[in-house]
Amino acid sequence: MQLMSADEAASFLHLNVKRVQALARAGRLPGRRVGRRWLFDRQDLERALGAADAPPAAGMDLSARNQLQGRVLSVSMDGVMAEVRVAIGDQELVSIITRRSVERMGIRVGDAVFAVIKSTEIMIGKESGPR
């Protein structure tokens, strides 16, 4: 049994610590209250998320509807940032994320990933032509 604090569980789950505590209070996340602290068993959290080898999105719902499944074409890291190119059908999507995120998730060329698009604005462009 590997017990984790609420902060460690939040880091493990990639959630805010307050969200982890709220989910545990609501009984939606396995944890135990010891005094004023929440403790979480790593194996319980892994089971709650699904199989350890399942993709990260398999164990949690996202509010974003635009989730595109693709395969990593390339990963270029420079300093604290990384450029990840993803093939989605016959299109290519480029995402700039932190180097730490690439390393934490173990993103490699050929990996199956999800591109989650959440935006408040979408622009439309059209080539100029005779009017």
Does 79 reside within a domain?
yes
Q: State the Cα–Cα distance between residues 129 and 77, nearest whole angstrom.
A: 39
Q: What is the pLDDT of residue 57?
A: 43
Does residue 94 share a domain with residue 110?
Answer: yes
Does residue 50 share a domain with residue 21?
Answer: yes
Q: What is the pLDDT of residues 41-65, one digit of tens each?
A: 988 888 777 533 444 444 456 666 6
Q: State the Cα–Cα distance between residues 34 and 93, nearest whole angstrom.
A: 46
Does residue 75 share a domain with residue 50?
Answer: no
* CATH of residue 112: 2.40.50.100
* CATH of residue 23: 1.10.1660
The count of structural domains within the chain is: 2
The boundaries of the domain holding residue 8 are 3-59
- Report residue 37 as tokens: 């602290």
Contact in structure between 34 and 5 (CB atoms under 8 Å): no
Q: What is the pLDDT of residue 55?
A: 45
Regions of the chain short of the pLDDT cut 50: 51-59
